[in-house]
Amino acid sequence: MSRQRLHKLLASAGIASRRRCEELIAEGHVSIDGVEVRQMGVLVDPEVQEIRFDEEIVVVEKPVYYAVYKPAGFLCTNYDEFGRRTVVSLIHDNRNRRLYTVGRLDEDSEGLILVTNDGDFSNRVTHPKFGLEKVYDLKLRGELSQADLDRVRKGVWLSTGKTQRMFTKVIKRSKQFTFVRVAIHEGKNRQLRRIFAKVGNAVLKLKRIRIGPVDLRTVKKGTARRLDASEVKAIEDRLAEIKKQGGHLATPPKRDENSERFSGEKAGLRHKKKRKRMEKEQKRNTNRVRRGGNLGRSNQRRR
């Protein structure tokens, strides 16, 4: 293994974020070959040097990355004192690596979650300054009005502050339920549930379907698959792109105002036909009103 900076190695081992590892080094928590180290920028090689954090040897494992389809009822923790099922238990790792989830989904939610032993990767994926896009499908109680839809898109005030703009597409709407797809860049605790509760539409079901360039389609419910090098690189490239742009707030994802598409989605033939039908229906209704109220000529003749 080539030499690397001490704080980066500690972050990769899952000790903490890079910045926090720098603070821990300065506080005297780290030693190399039995000698306490407090200066920054020290280069180390874990294959020939013994690195300890609070007297425990730092073991640097080969990084591994998994995509997991979390079912409802599973926890995003490595241990639960009540014996409840965890996301990590869905992964069968022969080398018994120390794995943990990248971010969280609450117990009642399901969908895509990443699992890794790479602490530096985890911190960058979840850090708010990067704001990697996450897409969810939601089932809401009741009919979501257009006014509340516009309110959600612009951001609502919660106890933790105002939420950022949220890209929202209505999939299906009725008096009983509304199905929506949303994309967010922040990750406040139970954020989507709190947002829609604020406008009076409780979230009955929540499923995360995409994190950055990785989606849920290639993972079966309750299983995990290992990400290949190209997928990990795609995530890294996206994080680098966001950083280069100065963060996600500097260049928000573009959305077609008419089709309400998310970035990366295409409007297929089915969508175009539906849009044309809606435009024709709207035109017919406008002409009927001009001719004599809400009733068309055929209905007037019947009366």
pLDDT per position as a tens digit, 25-46 = 999 999 999 999 999 989 998 8
* Same domain? 127 vs 76: yes
Is there a domain that residue 236 lies in? yes
* Same domain? 49 vs 129: no
Q: Is 148 considered catalytic here?
A: no
Tens-place pLDDT, residues 123-181: 889 887 788 999 999 999 999 999 999 999 999 998 888 888 889 999 999 999 999 99
* Same domain? 48 vs 77: no
* Same domain? 29 vs 133: no
* Same domain? 130 vs 273: no
**Residue 36 pairs with which residues in a beta bridge?**
31
Q: Identify which of 73, 44, 62, 109 has the alpha carbon closest to the alpha carbon of residue 226.
A: 62
* Same domain? 294 vs 174: no
* Same domain? 36 vs 174: no
Residue 200 φ/ψ, nearest 5 degrees? 90, 15
Residue, of 302 and 3, whose pLDDT is higher? 3
Whole-number pLDDT of residue 299? 45
Of 33, 45, 93, 106, catalytic: 106
**Host domain of residue 10:** 4-57
* Same domain? 31 vs 86: no
* Same domain? 112 vs 193: yes
The percent of residues in the chain predicted with pLDDT above 70, rounded, is 84
* Same domain? 274 vs 127: no
pLDDT band of 253, cuts 50, 70, 90: very low
> Considering its fold, how many domains does the chain have in total?
3
Domain boundary among the residues 24, 39, 57 is at 57
- Exposure class string for 158-170: b at 16+ Cβ within 10 A, else e: beeeebbebbbbe
Is there a domain that residue 263 lies in? no
